[in-house]
Amino acid sequence: MTGDEMTLVLQTLLDGFLVTLSLLAISGLGAFILGTIIAILRISPVSTLRGFAAFYTEAIRNIPLTLVLFFCATLLPQLGVDFARTFGASTHYYILAAIGLSVYTSPFIAEAIRSGVNGVPFGQAEAARSIGLDFGQTLSLVIMPQAFRMTIPPLINVFIALTKNTSVAGGFAVIELFARGRDLVRDFGNYAIPMLLGVAICYLLVTIPLGYVSRVIERKVAVLR
Amino acid sequence: MKKTFKVVAAFAAASMLLAGCASEPAAETPTFPEGSTMAALASKGEIVIGTKFDQPLFGLKGLSGDPEGFDVEIGKLIAKELGVTPKFVETVSANRETFIQQGNVDIVIATYTINDKRKEVIEFAGPYYMAGQSILALKDRTDLSTPESLVGQPVCSVTGSTPAAKLEEIGAEPVLFGTYTECLEPLRQGTVVAVSTDNVILAGFAAQYPEEFAVMGVPFTEEPYGIGLKKGDIEFRDWINDLLEKSYADGSYKAAWDATAGTVLPFVDGPTPNRY
C-alpha cells in the first residue's frame, strides 16, 4: 500500500471517527437529560408520574435499536418531522439518528440512576424530610449527590454501549465510522481485514479510556465508604 | 451359531448387490475434469449462488420464498449445465467479495460490477450484461438528467457501493442506506432529489411505481455485470464463459431475459466474455 493510499485510509477513518464522536456526545447528553428526568419521575411521590416512567422504561428498553432508528429515520419524516428544509438532508438524518439513540439509551440511564438512588440509605431521605426539606430539595441537596457517586460505573457502562450502538446509525444515512469502514472495504477489498481492524481500534480508543475512568472512580468511591 | 452366521452373510451379500444396483449413475450426468470445481459441485449435487433479494427484475425475493430475476435465471442455467440444484443466498453490495473469499457461496451473480480492485481478490466470469449508472427522480424532475445537475444535491444510494463512490466523485451529497428500497421513501418525500445506481436496478423501481418515478437521461458510466468466483479458479471461469457464449447462440440467454427483465427493458445482445 502506497503512502498516498495510507493517508486516504487514515483520513477516511478520521472523518468517520469524528462523526461517531459527535453523535456519541450529542446522543449521550440527550439520553442523560431524558434518563435523569425519567428516573426522577420514577421515584416521585405522584403515582401517575411513576406509572408513566415505568411504562416508558419497559416499552423503550424492550425495542431493538435497529427498530427505533428505523422508526426515526423512516416513519418520523412521514409524520411530518423534516429538518432537511433548514439543514440539508445529511443533517436531517443525523438529527433523527441522534433522537433515536437518545430515546433508546434513556431508559438504561434511568435505571442506572435509580439503582444509585436506591443505594443511598433510606435514613438520608427520612432525615431530610424531618428537617423540613421538600421533595425537590431532598433530591438535589441530599440524595442525588450521594447517588451519582454510586451510579458512575453503571452509567459509564451505558455510555460504552452507546459508543458501539452509534454504528447502527450507519445503516440510516449517517456516514459515521462503520459506514466509512464499508467504503474502505469496497476500495481496498484486498485489505478487508486490516480495514475492519482499524475501525475496531477506533472504537476501542473511546471505550477503553471510558472503562479506565470507571475503574478510577470506583476506587475513589470505595475509599469514601 | 454357524447357521445364523451363514444367514447373516447371505443377507449382507444380497444387500451389497442391491446397493450396487441403486447407486448406478443416472443416464445423463455430465462429466467434468477431475479435481475441477465443476466436478466438485456436480458430486455435491448443489451450487450455492449469491444473489440480490431486493432488486426488481434481477434478483427479487417474492413472498413464495424463492428469488426471481435475470441474475437468478443465469444462475439456473449454470446449475442446469452442472446437473445440480441451485441454492440462492442473499448477498448485499458490501459483502460479495468476503462471501466468495470465505466460501459461503460458490458464485455471485448479483448486479456485480467488474472492476480492477475487485479482480485483485476474486475472479470474474463474463460480463453477461452491460449496465450503466443512471438517475431516478420524481416524474416531473426532467432537469435532473445529467451528473452535473446533481452537484451539491442530496442523492441516495447504498453504503459501500460503486455508485456511492461515483456520487462523491461528481460532487453530489451522498445519502446512504443499507438497501436501494430504503431510498424510495426519502425520494417520495423530497429529502433526496434522486436515487443513483445502475440503470437496470432503477428501471425495476420505475416499473414498480410508474406514476411516481422515472429514469432520467442516459447512463453516464459503464458497469459490466460479471459472475464472481474464487480467485485463481481459471478453469471454472473459462467453463462459465464458454457456457455464456453457448447461451447467447442457442437462445437460452434471450429466453432468460424475456422472462424477467425483458418485461420492462429491451433485449440487447449479450457482451463478449472477457477472458483476461
Would you state the cell numbers that stand for residue B223, as one nine-digit string? 458497469
B77 located within any domain: yes
Quick check: B26 pLDDT over 80?
no
Q: What is the mean pLDDT of residues A102-110?
A: 96
Provide the percentage of residues in chain B whose pLDDT is more than 70.
91
Q: How far is residue B62 from each of residues A192, B67, B211, measured CA to CA in Å?
A: 32, 6, 22
CATH superfamily assigned to domain A3-224: MetI-like (1.10.3720.10)
Contact A185 B177 (CB under 8 A): no
Q: Does B159 touch chain A (CB under 8 A)?
A: yes
pLDDT of residue A80: 86
- B53, B114: one domain: yes
Is the peptide bond prior to B127 cis by the omega test (within 30 degrees of 0)? yes
Contact B94 A173 (CB under 8 A): no
Three-class SS of residue B251?
coil
pLDDT in tens, B57-76: 888 898 888 899 999 999 99
Domain range annotation of chain A: 3-224
Would you state the cell numbers that stand for residue B43, as one nine-digit string? 458430486
- Best to test chain B binding among A94, A190, A193, A196 (most B CBs inside 10 Å): A190
- B198, B142: one domain: yes
CB B90 within 8 A of CB B53: yes
Q: Does B49 touch chain A (CB under 8 A)?
A: no
Choose among A56, A62, A186: nearest CA to B160. Answer: A186
Quick check: B264 pLDDT over 80?
no
Quick check: B138 pLDDT over 80?
yes
- B184, B58: one domain: no
B268 located within any domain: no
CA-based Rg of chain A, rounded to a whole angstrom?
Answer: 21
**Chain B residues touching A182 at Cβ < 8 A:** 94, 159-160
pLDDT in tens, B140-190: 988 988 999 999 999 999 888 888 999 999 999 999 998 888 899 999 988
Quick check: B100 pLDDT over 90?
yes
- B182, B71: one domain: no
pLDDT of residue A218: 80
Report how far residue B96's alpha carbon sits from residue B79's, in angstroms, rounded to the nearest whole number: 19
Choose among B160, B206, B152: nearest CA to B179. Answer: B160
The widest CA-to-CA distance across chain A, in whole angstroms, is: 73
B65 located within any domain: yes
Torsion of CA B151, A171, B58, B234, to 10 degrees: 100
Higher-pLDDT residue of B5, B55:
B55
Report how far residue A216's alpha carbon sits from residue B115's, in angstroms, rounded to the nearest whole number: 51
**Chain B residues touching A9 at Cβ < 8 A:** none
Q: What is the mean pLDDT of residues B206-224?
A: 89
Q: Strand B213-216 vs strand B154-158: parallel, antiparallel, or unpaired?
A: unpaired
Last residue of a domain, one of B161, B191, B216: B216
pLDDT in tens, B241-252: 999 999 999 999
CA distance A87 to chain B (A): 11
pLDDT in tens, B3-15: 777 766 666 666 6
Query: Searching chain A, which residue's CA lies closest to the CA of residue B97?
Result: A189
pLDDT in tens, A130-183: 999 988 888 888 888 888 778 888 999 999 999 999 999 998 999 999 999 988
Total count of domains within chain B? 2
- B100, B118: one domain: yes
pLDDT of residue B25: 47
Choose among B59, B43, B50: nearest CA to B229. Answer: B50
- B88, B208: one domain: no
User: Could you list the residue range(s) of the whole structural domain that residue B205 is in?
Assistant: 133-216
- B155, B210: one domain: yes
Contact A175 B189 (CB under 8 A): no
> Taking the complete model, does pTM exceed 0.90, yes or no?
no
B71 located within any domain: yes
Query: Searching chain B, which residue's CA lies closest to the CA of residue A191?
Result: B121
- B191, B63: one domain: no
Last residue of a domain, one of B216, B248, B271: B216
Higher-pLDDT residue of A100, B268:
A100
B139 located within any domain: yes
Read off the CATH number of the domain in which B149 is found: 3.40.190.10
Report how far residue B166's alpha carbon sits from residue B221's, in angstroms, rounded to the nearest whole number: 9
H or E segment to which residue B164 belongs = helix B162-170
- B64, B101: one domain: yes
- pLDDT category at B208 given cuts 50, 70, 90 is confident
B116 located within any domain: yes
Quick check: B80 pLDDT over 50?
yes
B28 located within any domain: no
pLDDT of residue B24: 47
- B111, B231: one domain: yes
Report how far residue A172's alpha carbon sits from residue B201's, in angstroms, rounded to the nearest whole number: 20
Higher-pLDDT residue of B140, B55:
B140
pLDDT in tens, A115-128: 988 888 889 989 99
- B139, B69: one domain: no
Contact B189 A78 (CB under 8 A): yes
B275 located within any domain: no
Contact A171 B121 (CB under 8 A): no
- pLDDT category at B27 given cuts 50, 70, 90 is very low
Instruction: Find the distance separating the first CA and the last CA of chain A, reported in whole Å.
Output: 55
Contact A189 B192 (CB under 8 A): no
